[in-house]
Amino acid sequence: MNKTDLIEHIANNADISKAAAARALDAVVSAVKTTLKKGGSVSLVGFGTFSVGKRASRTGRNPKTGAAIKIKASKVPKFRAGKGLKDALN
């Protein structure tokens, strides 16, 4: 399922227009991004939790030359599935 399919699904299930569904989906994604950027987390009970993880700096290898390169520390998004989502899959 891609974004267009998801918008269509939201529009059908919520009985709203596709334009309104697209705005709603964009608003949710924007809220998650903004909260994660500030270092917070977003918990959707029964679905899961979005959070920010930290990746330490490390030494890697250039696959073309084999030379060692330094990879700087970064923040990465994380998602932990909730019980409701896990139960729905099993």
- 67-80, pLDDT tens digit by residue? 999 999 999 999 99
Pairing of strands 74-81, 48-55: antiparallel
How confident is the model over 44-58, as pLDDT tens digits? 999 999 999 999 999
Range(s) of the domain holding residue 1 = 1-38
d(CA 50, CA 40): 9
Give the count of domains, the chain: 1
H or E stretch at 83: helix 83-89
Give the C-alpha separation, 22 to 20, whole Å.
Answer: 5
In a domain, 90, yes or no: no
pTM over 0.85: no
- In tens, the pLDDT along 3-61 reads 999 999 999 999 999 999 999 999 999 999 999 999 999 999 999 999 999 999 999 99
pLDDT at 3: 95
Residue 59 lies in a domain: no
